[in-house]
Amino acid sequence: MTGVARAGRETDLGTLPTVRRPTLRDVAERAGVHPATASRALNPHTRELVNDETAKRVIRAARSLGYRPNPIARSLKTSRSASIGVVIPDLTNPLFPPIVRGVEDELGPAGYNAWIVNTDNDPEREGAQVESLRSRQVEGLIVAAARRSHPLLEDFAAEGMPMVLVNRRLDRTDVPAVTADDATGVAVAVRHLVELGHRRIAHLAGPQDTSTGLVRLRAYHQALRDHGLPDDPGLVATCDSWTLAEGARALALLLDRGARFTAVLAGNDLLALGCYDALEERGLSCPEAVSVVGFNDIPFVDRVRPPLTTVRIPHYQIGVEAARMLLEALRDPDRHPRSVLLPVSLVVRQSTAAPPGPRDGRGSPSLRPATV
């Protein structure tokens, strides 16, 4: 009688043509076994518990019915979800999509899928989003929105939620992070400027509640010392957010203060683009009057005017690496958390040139490298 197993199921004739998706029970019925057996037969991990012959029968039944397990029911039962949350502070920042893609590419083949949320840099929204992730039983978190002190994330980590930070890290070091080697990046950038002849280099520091903001600022001071350059506090302006508008505001502030500098190291590319605006507004040309260096090498900064000299970080690879680490942590929860620093490189474009001015006789504004 199992041949017409579906008959008992056709009682819902009141519903629309939409056919109910087959459940495990349907599969079991068709294969003539108990749902429990069907479950075990379908799960590669428990297949050994059921007779080979029966397993094949179940699998065939499942295929013929087009059975797809219901992840919701499974989650409810197992408290797991085969998905991990990806917390992005701002999707419209071109830095993040490539990272997300790296995460997805690595997670997919492992059977996990990524659950992307956008916090908009808003703590309240972040709280809601992350809570939503948690209640959906995500098995881990990849977070690009960390601040140095971040109670929410710290609590989560303390509760044992597997977590990997990307791009930014926490002050406490017990949460693994995948970041670019910011300090080296800054050092290289400053060296580049020094080699061009700059001695008064300003810095647009990013928000100091983010590790990137702090680390880059410190590295800037260190680099200045290393090169024996004057470390004038008046050459630093701190931005409240990683946005173009803040970059413009901060550089304008520096300019208004009468700070004298021939180059500015921006905390990231967006701030650097803000510098362009502030400079243009005052009729200062880049790189003739002021050289600008960015950080991150986000998409399109190679095509802006002038093409931005910046520190390239491996966006995609950061995502890949973070996903990989999270997967390892899921497989072996006792594994010691380690953080990794990915290598960076300076990509010199046209926003940097020798400083203007009387220092050397060649002070012409047209020192732009002839290459390109």
Partner DNA sequence: TGCGTTTCCGCAATCGTTTGTGTAACCTGC
Partner DNA sequence: GCAGGTTACACAAACGATTGCGGAAACGCA
**Positions that interact with DNA (CB under 7 A):** 20-21, 23-25, 32-37, 39-40, 42-43, 46, 49-55, 67-70, 73-74, 76-79
Q: Which does 113 bind (CB under 5 to 8 A by kind): a second copy, DNA, none?
A: a second copy
Number of CB atoms found within 10 A of residue 12's CB: 10
| Contact partner, 20, from DNA, a second copy, none, Cβ < 5-8 Å per class | DNA
What is the 8-class DSSP label of residue 118?
E
Q: Pick the closer one to DNA by CB: 27 or 165.
A: 27
Query: Quick check: 327 and 108 in contact, CB under 8 A?
Result: no
Q: Taking the CB of residue 306, how many other CB atoms lie within 10 A of it? A: 18
Residue 267 burial by Cβ neighbours in a 10 Å radius (0-12, 13-18, 19+) = buried
In terms of CB distance, is 62 or 327 closer to DNA?
62
Residues whose CB is less than 8 angstroms from the CB of residue 120 and which lie 6 or more positions away in sequence, other chains included:
89, 90
Question: How many angstroms from the chain centroid is the CA of residue 338?
Answer: 18
For residue 211, the partner it binds in DNA, a second copy, none, with Cβ less than 5 to 8 A by kind, is none
Q: At what angle do helices 96-107 and 315-331 cross, to 10 degrees?
A: 40
Element (H, E) at 312: strand 309-312
Cβ atoms of 272 and 247 closer than 8 Å: yes
User: What would the two tokens of residue 112 be?
Assistant: 């996990």
Which entry of DNA, a second copy, none binds 24, CB below 5 to 8 A by partner kind?
Answer: DNA
- Which positions from 92 through 131 interact with a second copy, judged by CB under 8 A? 92, 94, 97-98, 100-101, 104, 108, 113, 115-118, 120, 125, 129, 131
Q: Which of 36, 49, 76, 341 binds a second copy (CB under 8 A)?
A: 76
160 lies in the binding site for a second copy (CB under 8 A): yes
Q: Which residues are at the interface with a second copy (CB under 8 A)?
A: 16, 18, 68-73, 75-76, 81, 91-92, 94, 97-98, 100-101, 104, 108, 113, 115-118, 120, 125, 129, 131-132, 135-137, 159-160, 273, 276, 299-300, 303-307
